[in-house]
Chains A and B, each alone.
Chain A
C-alpha cells in the first residue's frame, strides 16, 4: 500500500505539479493567440516575442524595485513589477498595431498577409529584446523558494518519496486561475466584452449594431499585451528568462490554441493543459513508478520518448487533432 502511495507521490511531484504549472503558462499564452485570432482573424506569430518583451520590462522593473529595497516578502518581487511589464507590452502592441497592422487591416489584406506581417514583427521584437537585454539567461526570481520542500513532506508523512511545491509553481497556478476568471467575467458580463464577442462572431452585424471596431481592436491588444506579459513572466520566474526559449514556446502555444479550438478561450485553456500533460507524460521516466508498483526494477528509464523530443510531442498532438478533428476539442470560431 505505501508503495502505491509512494508511486503516486512520485507522479505528483514530477508529473502533476510541473504539468499544471507549465499548462497554466501555455494556457495563458494560448489565450492571447486565440484572442488575436478571434477578433483580428490571423495567427499571431509575434506572440512569443511579445511575451519576451513584456517579461523583459518586468525584469527591469524587478531590478529597479530590488535596488530601491522594495520586496514582496515571501512572494517574488516580479509580481509587483508586473503592471509595469504589462504597460510596456500593451504600449508596444498598440504602437505596432497603429504603425503596421492598421494599414493592412484597412486594405482588408488576406489572413496570410497578416501572418507574414506578424512574422516580420516577430523578428523585429525578437531583435529588439536581444538588443536590449542580450540573448543570455536572466534569473529574476527572489523570495521564498519552496512553500514546502521534499524534506518537509517526507518528515510530515513518513513516506520515502518527497513532494515539493515551489513558490513559483503555486504563484503560477493561482495567478492563472485569477486571470482566467477575470477574463471570462470580462468577456461574458461586461458590455465591452460582449461587444468583442459580437465582433468576433459576425463582424458586419456588429458594425451594423454600432460597435466601434477601433475600440474592439484597442481592447483586444490591451488584453493580449497583458496576457502575454503575465504568461511570459510566470514562465520566466518558473524556468528562467532566455529570449530563445520564448521563440520555442510558439509551437506549443499554437498547438494548445488549435487543439482546444482556435478562437475559443475555453479551448485555449483546455489545450494548454492537454499539451503540457502530454509533453511531460510522454517524456517522463517511469522507472521509479514501475519499481514501486511492481516488484520488478527496470534497467532502462522506461521513457516513451527522449526528453529531446519534447517539442515533437506537441506537434504530434497537433497533427492528430488536425487529422481527426480539425476544429479542435471545443469546436469554436468565435470568442
Chain B
C-alpha cells in the first residue's frame, strides 16, 4: 500500500522532500543561505533541462555544457555592460572589419566548396588559399585594433564594453550564442559515430574558454568583468526606501537581512518564471508528435530513418535547442553572480555535475531533470561541510598535526571529484532510470 502510494505520487513526494530539505537549511543556516541555494538550484535545473533535451529526448551526448554556459555568460557582458566609447573609437572599426573578413572568408570557403564539388583536390587548394588570404588580411587589420583597445585604461576597462541594454535581454542572446556554436559543432559531428560528438563538444568547450580567457578586448579575460547591472533592486537602495523599511518591520527582521532576502526572492521569481515557461514548452513538445518522433529516433535510428525521418537534421535541431537552453542558463548564472569570471568555469562543475543531475533525476523526463538539478546542487553545496565534518570525526583520534590527518583535510576538495565519479558509476549501474523514470506508454 505504502509502496503503491509512493509509485503513484512519485513526483509530488520527491518535490515535497526537496522543498523540505530547503526549509531545513532555511531554519538551520538562515533563509538567506537557503534562498541562495534555491536560486542556483533553479539555474542548475534549467541547465539540466537543456542536457535532458539532448540526451533524454534524442540520445545525444554533449560534454561541452561548460562552453555553452560560458557563451551565455559572455552574452550577459556584451549586452548589459555600459559601452566604452574611447575603446570603440580606438579599435571598434578595426574589430568590425576583422570580423567582416572572417565572415567573408567563411562564406567564400563554403562557396568554393559548393562550386568545385566535383574536383575535390582543386577545391581543397582553393579553400586553403582563401583562408590564407583571409587570415593575413584579418590579422593585419585586427591586431592593431586589439592592441589599441587593450591599451585604454587596462586596469579598469581595456575592453570594448557592452551595449548597455537591460541584462534580462542577455538571456535570450546567451541562448542564441550557444545555439550558434552548437549549430557549427552539430554540422560537423552529427551523423558520424556517436562518440565523435562527445569528443567534438569536449574540444569546443575548452576552446571557447581559451578564447574567453585570452581575447581581452572582448571579455577582459582573466581580469574578470565586475559589477554587471542587475535586473532586480540593490540592497542599499532598498534599505533606504521607506516602504521597504515598513515591510521589514512587518516581517519582523532587521532591514539588512530583509533586503538580502528580498533581492534573492526577486531573482527566484524571475528564475521560476523562466523555468515555468521552459517546462511548459518542453512538456508540450515531448507529448506532441514531434516528441514521439524524437523518441522514436533515439530508440531506433534505422527504423525511424526507414519511416522517412531525416535523423541527422532532427538531431541537429534538438542539439541546437538544448544548447540554447544551456546558454540561457549560463547568462542567468552570470546575472545572478553579478560578475563574469572566466576562471570559474570548470568542466567538473559545469559539465559533469549537470550530467549527474540528468542521470540521477531521470533522463527523458523533464520533471526528473529539474528535480535532479535541485537535488544534486543541494548536495554539491552541502557536501563540503558534511565531508569536512566526516574526515574530522574519523580522524579525531589522531593528533591535530598528524601528517595523515593534515593530508586528508587538505585533500578534501579532491573528494568531490571522486564522489562525482562514484555517483555517476553507481547511478548507471543500479538506477539507470533515475529518480523519476521516463514515462512510457505502458507504464503511464
Binding site for B on A (CB under 8 A): 42-43, 45, 100, 103-104, 110-113, 115-117, 119-128, 130-131, 134-135, 248, 250-251, 254-255, 258, 304, 306, 308-309, 311-312, 314-315, 318-319, 322-324, 326
Contacts and interface: CB of A to CB of B under 8 A. Distances in A.
Given A120-B428, A131-B415, 6 more contacts: A117-B424, A123-B352, A135-B414, A251-B199, A251-B203, A323-B188
Contacts of B59: 112
Interface stretch (B204-212, B227-235, B238-246, B330-338): B204-212
Nearest to B421: A123
Contacts of A251: 199, 202-203, 206
Contacts of A306: 214
Given A251-B203, A322-B188, A326-B192, A309 B210 contact: yes
Contacts of B207: 309, 311-312, 315
B111 interface: no
Given A111-B194, A111-B195, A116 B424 contact: yes
Nearest to B187: A323
Interface residues of B, number: 41
A120 B204 contact: no
A123 B417 contact: yes
Interface string B418-432: 111110110011000
Interface of B: 59, 61, 63, 124, 135, 188-189, 192, 194-196, 198-200, 202-204, 206-207, 210, 213-214, 348, 352, 355, 359, 410-411, 414-422, 424-425, 428-429
B199 A43 contact: yes
Given A43-B195, A258-B196, A134 B411 contact: yes
A315 B352 contact: no
Given A112-B195, A124-B421, A131 B428 contact: no
A107 to B, nearest CB: 10
Contact of A115 (B135, B189, B198, B348): B198
Contact of A319 (B63, B188, B416, B419): B188
Q: Which interface residue of A120, A248, A318 has the most chain B CB atoms within 10 A?
A: A120
Contact of A309 (B204, B214, B410): B214
Given A119-B63, A251-B206, A319-B200, A127 B421 contact: yes
B195 A42 contact: yes
Given A123-B420, A127-B415, A322-B188, A117 B425 contact: yes
Q: Which interface residue of B59, B196, B199 has the most chain A CB atoms within 10 A?
A: B199
10 contacts: A112-B61, A123-B418, A124-B425, A125-B421, A126-B418, A130-B417, A248-B206, A255-B203, A308-B213, A322-B192
Nearest to B432: A113
B355 to A, nearest CB: 7
A311 B204 CA distance: 10
Q: Which interface residue of A103, A116, A308, A312 has the most chain B CB atoms within 10 A?
A: A116
Q: Which interface residue of B135, B195, B415, B418 has the most chain A CB atoms within 10 A?
A: B195
A116 B202 CA distance: 13
Contacts of B135: 304
A127 B421 CA distance: 8
Contacts of B202: 250-251, 254
A148 B348 CA distance: 43
Contacts of A43: 195, 198-199
A interface SS class? helix
B414 A127 contact: yes
A70 B125 CA distance: 57
Nearest to A311: B206
Nearest to A313: B207
Contacts of B421: 119-127
A308 B200 contact: no
A130 B348 CA distance: 14
A119 B352 contact: yes
B358 to A, nearest CB: 10
Contacts of A309: 207, 210, 214
Nearest to B120: A324
A323 B188 CA distance: 6
Given A131-B418, A306-B214, A117 B428 contact: yes
Nearest to B351: A119
Contacts of A318: 199-200, 203
A104 B428 CA distance: 9
Q: Which interface residue of B59, B188, B204, B414 has the most chain A CB atoms within 10 A?
A: B414
A115 B61 contact: yes
A308 B421 CA distance: 29
A113 B428 contact: yes
Contacts of B410: 134
A131 B414 CA distance: 6
A108 B197 CA distance: 21
A45 to B, nearest CB: 8
Contacts of A255: 199, 203
Contacts of A116: 61, 355, 359, 424, 428
B200 A322 contact: yes
Nearest to A103: B429
Q: Which interface residue of B207, B214, B359, B417 has the most chain A CB atoms within 10 A?
A: B417
A128 B203 contact: no
Contacts of B420: 120, 123
A322 B359 CA distance: 29
B210 to A, nearest CB: 6
A314 B420 CA distance: 28
Given A111-B194, A123-B420, A130-B411, A315 B203 contact: yes
B424 A119 contact: yes
Given A117-B425, A120-B421, A123-B417, A308 B195 contact: no
Contacts of A312: 207, 210
A319 B192 CA distance: 12
Q: Which interface residue of A42, A112, A309 has the most chain B CB atoms within 10 A?
A: A112
A130 B414 CA distance: 6
B198 A123 contact: no
A309 B207 CA distance: 8
A110 B193 CA distance: 12
A105 B120 CA distance: 42
Contacts of A254: 199, 202
Nearest to B202: A251
B198 A120 contact: no
A125 B421 CA distance: 8
Q: Which interface residue of B192, B203, B204, B424 has the most chain A CB atoms within 10 A?
A: B203
Given A131-B415, A322-B200, A100 B425 contact: yes
Contacts of A308: 210, 213-214
Contacts of B359: 116
A43 B189 CA distance: 15
B413 to A, nearest CB: 8
A254 B422 CA distance: 24
Contact of B417 (A126, A258, A319): A126
